[in-house]
């Protein structure tokens, strides 16, 4: 147990903890400002913002020897007996001068800068800057230029922290970004003809503490203070990155990663970040529709549910349920899968339950230098749905097997849940369903299968529903809904509640508690799922480091941005 | 709050006297004013403003808080940079802006659409205070009327036309200090 003294307060850190002085000071809520340091990147100590006074306390005599000069807190490991002073006049003066130096050339175009509101330069200026600016306000001299399809550079705003450069060299591994020119003329740039276009390029926009790198897709879409954050999980692949959906006026504007040492660390890929056009696609299915001879008949919600129930009941009456298959999409949450399974088994215990099509990216997993992986399995919850079905059904069944059974005439009626974010079924597979007597499709977008359906039920996107997903490693994470479903659609969980006659509003937390009591695999999730998730397979998971007072918070109350690492300071030994 | 708190001073409504209960005093008071005005009119004193034929006068039209206008810069382009600060400051949430990249070389961002719901506006002037480039100003046009709600939702073109209408009588408050333009540098 090492003891470090921060501004006269004693901080105890564990023997296995390897922390720097910024992290230690944060435990006692003594903020040390910084730009270039990031817990996920190497230390360069180039911004000089975190300089503090450091000394050593002699254990025997109790005498404290201070170093005559200031040292960077990010580069100084916390050792037993280290003494830190974070707010002496000398330290304050340094912070003051660093701020002034950074702002000498800064255009101060906050009104048109997308970073305004979550800008470190802005926030630190209030706490550590001069009251007045002594330099002339210089107009902007460079225009926006693209460094890649998702990254815009405003060179004048840069503070040369080099986080983006280190990210491309250490995490994504592409090494596209570099610093060109020297000293005062230094600029971030790419080699000509080699733009930053790998699948992790969006992270450099989050990493940038100022408005120098902005997301081209989000550029000028919305001011950051208008957006509400919602904790969620990315559903584009089975890694299950923790993300934050940022919405305003029921529109999804931005997706940023949350720190989770069990899934994605600080990062996420551009697929999850930018490919979300399905959420508000104009062609979304917006009501229960029944096939008539030449057109689709719109049914109101209660009539529509009755039609679905009647169709399923009719199938059970015809063959006792043994030829009725219910297909569980890997995009359903654990709770929804459980409710649908109960409903199906309530119709008849012979009903065949099977996991739906698992979309697989043909090129396989994409692994980056840091180990971050975009899984080939492009579905968030195969494992969760399988575990539910394993318990309810007992037998193993998958999509190709179902197609064979339909082809052989062993299955004549099918209820398919889909909710895939893009086109998911080809003509060859859809043609198999010609042999089906009654086909009910619950989908978000009109797919090739939905066009063949007798009844279409609207599904919703993952942004519109709460629930839990189990990733490839068995990590269960819960999400909260961020958007209201589009008009005419209900959340899938509510639809299954209404179908099965379960009373009241659908509450994922209550259903999950019920599942945990019934299915042993989910037993650990009975008391709710913490932010960093629960690993249901290994039974242990890393927890983000916490202070005695609660979770690690950023020193500045305005710091809500997920790009801020202080929100989630990692326990280095554990990570 | 405790009712026996010493710092509270209780005041009772005074009892009305006999005349008060008869409503006699206020009746006489009111009628006196009417009769006074009657005599003034007979004497030829005209103190009624014949609105709308006759316009009232203001002390200082520049600080009056009437209909909004969007100012133009020296190149006749909208001065607004779409920073959303007026929409942020607006307590009535009546300003709706869509920002986008400016088509001009020397400017970065501009409003693709800028809509003010004049019916929702409470004319507090906070938007004017918040604006960092003095693009939005309140004019002295106070008699704003319309035949429908849609007519009262002012878009960018209409707000710019209010500027053209009022710029001569009410010059831009920052007319002497044009916003610094960006020198175009080849890269």
Residue A210 CA to residue A315 CA, distance in Å, equals: 61
Q: What is the pLDDT of residue A563?
A: 37
B interface mutation test: which of A105, A109, A112 has the most B CBs within 10 A? A112
> In the sheet where A145-146 sits, what is the strand order?
A145-146, A151-153, A213-215
- What is the signed CA dihedral for A511, A517, A521, A526, rounded to 10 degrees? 70
Same domain, B76 and B37: no
pLDDT at A536 over 50: yes
Query: With an 8 Å Cβ cutoff, are A109 and B82 in contact?
Result: no
In a mutagenesis test of the A interface, which of B182, B183, B185 is the best target, namely the one with the most A β-carbons within 10 Å? B182
Q: CB distance from B130 to chain A under 8 Å?
A: no
Are B70 and B101 in a shared domain?
yes
Residue A544: the pLDDT is 65
Tell me the average pLDDT of chain A: 89
Is residue B180, in this structure, part of any structural domain at all? no
Provide mean pLDDT across the span A23-35: 86
Q: How many other CB atoms sit within 10 Å of the CB of residue A400? A: 10
Task: Give the A window 361-420 contacts with B, CB below 8 Å.
Answer: none
The 10s digit of each residue's pLDDT in A464-504 is 999 999 999 999 999 999 999 999 999 999 999 999 999 88
Residues B75 and B34 placed together within one structural domain of the fold: no
Name the one residue in this structure whose structure tokens are 């970065």. Answer: B108
Residue B180 touches partner A, C-beta closer than 8 Å: yes
B-facing residues of A in 117-146 (CB < 8 A) are 137, 139-145
**Nearest chain A CA: its distance from B100 CA (Å):** 6
Most confident of A126-130, B38-42, B131-135: B131-135
Three-class DSSP category at B51: coil
B39 and B85, same structural domain? no
A220 → closest Cβ in B85, B100, B132: B100
Nearest to A220 among B101, B132, B181 (CB): B101
Minimal C-alpha gap between B50 and chain A (Å): 45
Q: Where are the domains of chain A?
A: 1-87+544-575, 299-535
Given a cut of 70, is residue A546 above it in pLDDT?
Answer: no
What was the pLDDT predicted at B172?
Answer: 86
pLDDT in tens, A336-354: 999 999 999 999 999 999 9
Give the residue from chain B lying closest to A116, CA to CA. B83
Most A CBs within 10 Å, among B79, B84, B100, B178, to test the A interface: B84
In this complex, do A219 and B132 lie within 8 Å of one another by their Cβ atoms? no
Split at pLDDT 50, 70, 90, the class of A27 is confident
d(CA A212, CA A187): 10
- Same domain? B135 vs B69: yes
pLDDT at position A138 is: 65
User: Are B108 and A142 in contact (CB < 8 Å)?
Assistant: no
User: Could you tell me if A194 lies within 8 Å of chain B, comparing CB atoms?
Assistant: no
Give A544-570 as a 3 state SS string.
CCEECCEECCCCCCCCCCCCCHHHHCC
pLDDT tens digits, A10-20: 999 988 888 88
Give me the number of domains chain B comprises: 2
B87 and B142 housed in the same domain: yes
Q: Closest partner residue to B183 among A139, A223, A225, by Cβ?
A: A139
**A73-77, A87-91, A549-553: least confidently modelled range:** A549-553
- Is residue B32 domain-shared with residue B99, that is, in the same domain? no
pLDDT in tens, A77-86: 999 999 999 9
Sheet holding A438-443, edge to edge: A296-299, A288-291, A455-458, A438-443, A413-417, A324-328, A352-355
Residues B92 and B134 both lie in one domain: yes
Same domain for B32 and B116, yes or no, is no
List chain A residues with CB under 8 Å of B101. Answer: 144, 219-220
Both B152 and B67 in one domain: the answer is yes
CA–CA dist A40, B138 (Å, integer): 50
The domain defined by A1-87+544-575 folds into Ubiquitin-like (UB roll) (3.10.20)
Complex-level ipTM: 0.81
pLDDT of residue A404: 94
pLDDT on residue A446: 92
pLDDT band per the 50, 70, 90 thresholds, residue A185: confident
Residues of B in contact with A112 (CB under 8 A): 81-83, 108-109
B103 is a domain residue: yes
User: What pLDDT does A553 receive?
Assistant: 32
Cα distance from B108 to chain A (closest Cα, Å)? 7
Residues of B in contact with A223 (CB under 8 A): 83-84, 88
Residue B20 has a pLDDT of: 80
Model pLDDT, residue B185 = 43
Closest CA of chain B from A222, distance in Å: 8
Q: Which of A142, A219, A223 sits opposite B84 (nearest CB)?
A: A223
Residue B175 confidence class, pLDDT cut points 50, 70, 90: low
Number of Cβ atoms within 10 Å of the Cβ of A540: 9
* CB-CB contact of A385 with A334 (8 Å): yes
Q: What local confidence, expressed as pLDDT, does residue A567 receive?
A: 35
Task: Please tell me the predicted confidence (pLDDT) of residue A389.
Answer: 94
Q: State the average pLDDT over residues A264-287.
A: 93
Identify whether residues B65 and B39 lie together within a single domain.
no
Residue B81: closest C-alpha in chain A: A112
Tell me: domain A299-535, CATH 3.90.1300.10, correct?
no
Confidence of residue B128 (pLDDT cuts 50, 70, 90): very high
Q: Is B82 on the interface with A (CB under 8 A)?
A: yes
pLDDT digits 0-9 by tens, A190-247: 999 999 999 999 999 999 999 999 999 999 999 999 998 899 999 999 999 999 999 9
Q: Tell me if chain B has a CB within 8 Å of the CB of A112.
A: yes
The H or E element that residue A495 is part of is helix A492-500
Phi, psi (deg, nearest 5) at residue A326: -110, 125
Q: Is the pLDDT of residue A118 over 90?
A: no
A111, A143, A219 ranked by CB distance to B81: nearest: A111
Q: CB–CB of A205/A273 below 8 Å?
A: no
User: Three-state SS for A53?
Assistant: strand
Whether A111 and B133 lie within 8 Å, measured CB to CB:
yes
Query: Is B173 within the bounds of a domain?
Result: no
Question: In whole angstroms, what is the distance from residue A557 CA to residue A453 CA?
Answer: 52
In this prediction, residue A139 carries a pLDDT of 62
Provide mean pLDDT across the span B52-79. 89
Cβ–Cβ gap B181/A139 under 8 Å: yes
pLDDT of res. A133: 77
Q: What is the mean pLDDT of residues B45-69?
A: 84
CATH number for position B144: 3.30.70.3270
Test the B interface: residue of A111, A119, A144, A224 with most B CBs within 10 Å:
A111
Q: Quote the domain boundaries for residue B32.
A: 17-48
**Looking at the structure, do residues B42 and B96 belong to the same domain, yes or no?**
no
Return the residue in A140, A154, A189, A220 with the most chain B beta carbons within 10 A, the one to mutate for interface testing: A220
* Token pair in block for residue A404: 């064979």
Burial (CB < 10 A; 0-12, 13-18, 19+), residue A447, is buried
Q: Please, which residues have CB within 8 angstroms of residue A394's CB and are 6 or more apart in sequence?
A: none
Check residue A564 and give its pLDDT: 38
Q: For residue range A33-51, list pLDDT tens digits in order.
A: 999 998 889 999 999 999 9
Taking contacts as CB-CB distances below 8 angstroms, the residues of chain B near A140 are: 108, 182
Cβ–Cβ contact A220 with B under 8 A: yes
Name the residue facing A142 among B109, B180, B185 (closest C-beta).
B185
The radius of gyration computed from the CA coordinates of chain A, to the nearest angstrom, equals 27
Which whole number is the average pLDDT over A364-389? 95
User: Which residues between 291 and 310 in chain A have a beta carbon less than 8 angstroms from any beta carbon of chain B?
Assistant: none
């Amino acid at each position: 147990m090492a003891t470090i003294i921060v501004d006269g307060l004693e901080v105890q850190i564990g023997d296995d903890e390897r922390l720097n002085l910024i992290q230690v000071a944060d435990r006692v809520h003594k903020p040390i400002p910084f730009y270039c340091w990031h817990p996920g990147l190497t230390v360069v100590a180039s911004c000089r913002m975190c300089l503090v006074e450091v000394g050593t306390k002699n254990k025997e005599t109790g005498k404290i020897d201070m170093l005559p000069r200031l040292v960077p807190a990010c580069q100084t490991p916390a050792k037993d007996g280290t003494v830190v002073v974070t707010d002496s006049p000398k330290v304050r003066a340094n912070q003051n001068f660093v701020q002034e130096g950074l702002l000498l050339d800064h255009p101060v175009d906050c009104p048109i800068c997308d970073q305004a509101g979550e800008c470190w330069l802005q926030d630190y200026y209030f706490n550590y800057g001069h009251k007045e600016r002594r330099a002339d306000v210089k107009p902007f001299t460079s225009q926006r230029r693209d460094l890649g399809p998702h990254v815009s550079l405003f060179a004048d705003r840069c503070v040369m922290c080099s986080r983006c450069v280190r990210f491309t060299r250490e995490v994504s591994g592409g090494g596209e970004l570099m610093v060109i020119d020297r000293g005062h003329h230094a600029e971030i740039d790419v080699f000509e003809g080699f733009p930053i276009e790998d699948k992790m390029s969006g992270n450099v926009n989050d990493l940038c503490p100022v408005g120098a790198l902005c997301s081209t897709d989000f550029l000028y879409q919305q001011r950051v203070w208008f957006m509400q954050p919602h904790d969620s999980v990315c559903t584009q692949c089975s890694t299950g990155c923790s993300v934050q959906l940022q919405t305003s006026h029921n529109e999804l504007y931005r997706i940023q990663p949350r720190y989770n040492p069990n899934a994605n660390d600080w990062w996420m890929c551009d697929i999850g970040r930018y490919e979300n056009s399905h959420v508000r696609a104009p062609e979304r299915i917006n009501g229960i529709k029944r096939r008539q001879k030449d057109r689709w008949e719109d049914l109101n919600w209660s009539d529509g549910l009755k039609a679905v129930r009647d169709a399923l009941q009719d199938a059970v009456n015809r063959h006792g349920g043994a030829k009725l298959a219910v297909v569980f999409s890997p995009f359903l949450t654990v709770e929804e899968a459980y409710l649908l399974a109960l409903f199906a088994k309530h119709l008849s215990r012979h009903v065949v339950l099977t996991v739906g099509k698992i979309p697989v990216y043909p090129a396989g997993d994409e692994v980056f230098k840091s180990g971050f992986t975009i899984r080939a399995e492009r579905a968030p919850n195969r494992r969760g749905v399988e575990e539910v079905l394993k318990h309810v059904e007992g037998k193993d069944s998958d999509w190709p097997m179902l197609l064979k059974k339909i082809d052989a005439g062993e299955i004549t009626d099918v209820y398919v849940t889909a909710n895939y974010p893009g086109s998911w079924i080809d003509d060859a597979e859809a043609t198999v369903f010609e042999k089906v007597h009654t086909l009910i499709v619950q989908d978000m977008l009109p797919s090739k299968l939905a066009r063949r359906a007798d009844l279409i039920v609207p599904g919703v996107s993952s942004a519109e529903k709460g629930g839990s997903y189990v990733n490839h490693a068995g990590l269960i994470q819960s999400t909260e809904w961020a958007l209201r479903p589009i008009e005419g659609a209900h959340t899938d969980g509510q639809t299954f509640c209404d179908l099965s006659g379960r009373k009241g509003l659908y509450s994922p937390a209550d259903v999950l508690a019920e599942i945990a009591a019934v299915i042993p695999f989910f037993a650990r999730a009975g008391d709710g799922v913490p932010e960093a998730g629960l690993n249901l397979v290994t039974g242990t998971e890393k927890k983000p480091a916490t202070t005695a007072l609660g979770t690690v918070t950023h020193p500045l109350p305005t710091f809500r941005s997920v790009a801020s690492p202080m929100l989630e300071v990692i326990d280095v030994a554990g990570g | 709050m405790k009712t026996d708190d010493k710092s509270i001073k209780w005041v009772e409504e005074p009892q009305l006297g006999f005349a008060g209960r008869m409503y006699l005093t206020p009746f006489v008071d009111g009628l006196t004013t009417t009769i006074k005005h009657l005599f003034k009119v007979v004497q030829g004193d005209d103190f009624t403003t014949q609105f709308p034929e006759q316009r009232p006068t203001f002390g200082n039209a520049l600080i009056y808080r009437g209909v909004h206008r969007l100012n133009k810069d020296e190149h006749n382009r909208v001065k607004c940079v779409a920073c959303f600060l007026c929409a942020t400051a607006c307590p009535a949430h009546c300003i709706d802006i869509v920002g986008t990249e400016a088509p001009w070389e020397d400017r970065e961002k501009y409003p693709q659409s800028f809509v003010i719901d004049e019916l929702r506006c409470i004319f507090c002037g906070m938007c004017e205070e918040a604006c960092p480039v003095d693009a939005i100003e309140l004019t002295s046009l106070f008699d704003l009327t319309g035949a429908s709600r849609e007519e009262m939702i002012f878009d960018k073109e209409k707000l710019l036309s209010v500027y053209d209408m009022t710029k001569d009588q009410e010059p831009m408050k920052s007319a002497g200090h044009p916003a610094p333009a960006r020198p175009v540098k080849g890269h």
